[in-house]
Amino acid sequence: MILTPLAFNCPKCGSADVFYSCTPSCCFNHVCGQCYATFEPRTARVGEYKGETGPRPEADSAGPTAPCARCGEHSLFGAIDETVPAGQLLCVSCGALLTLELDSE
Ligand SMILES: [Zn+2]
Ligand SMILES: [Zn+2]
């Protein structure tokens, strides 16, 4: 398992220039630096990862983040692993495999 920093694109314009503007204790509102759309990521649990996880990449505090659908922690990473379908995320707190959806207003 190779962990990659969480990343997602603006659901309105597709830009990767996305900032997390709040704190996890408040909300998960993100802002697009291109079109200023705001949106919140949601996750859905799709499985469980039982293998070894690699080292966590350096987290960028202004980078995209999302809450785990099961444990509520926000230690989610992109997962590159032959047993994990592309695009799924791993919660390193509880081992849940998740898919991400973006809710825009
Ligand atoms: Zn945008
Ligand atoms: Zn979790």
Neighbours of ion ligand 1 (CB under 5 A): 10, 12-13, 15, 32, 34-35, 37
Residue numbers of the domain that contains 38:
2-104
pLDDT in tens, 34-48: 999 999 999 999 999
User: CB pairs under 8 A, 24+ apart, for 19-23?
Assistant: 19/62, 20/61, 20/62, 20/63, 20/64, 20/65
Q: How far is the CA of 58 from the centre of ligand 1 (A)?
A: 25
Please state the pTM of the whole predicted model: 0.88
Task: Report yes or no: 91 and 76 within 8 Å, Cβ to Cβ.
Answer: yes
What is the per-residue pLDDT for 56? Answer: 87
Longest dimension (CA), the chain: 40
Structure confidence at residue 105 (pLDDT): 62
CA 64 to ligand 2 centroid distance, Å = 17
- Amino acid found at 42: R
* Nearest by Cα to 45 from 5, 8, 11, 72: 72
The domain tally of the chain equals: 1
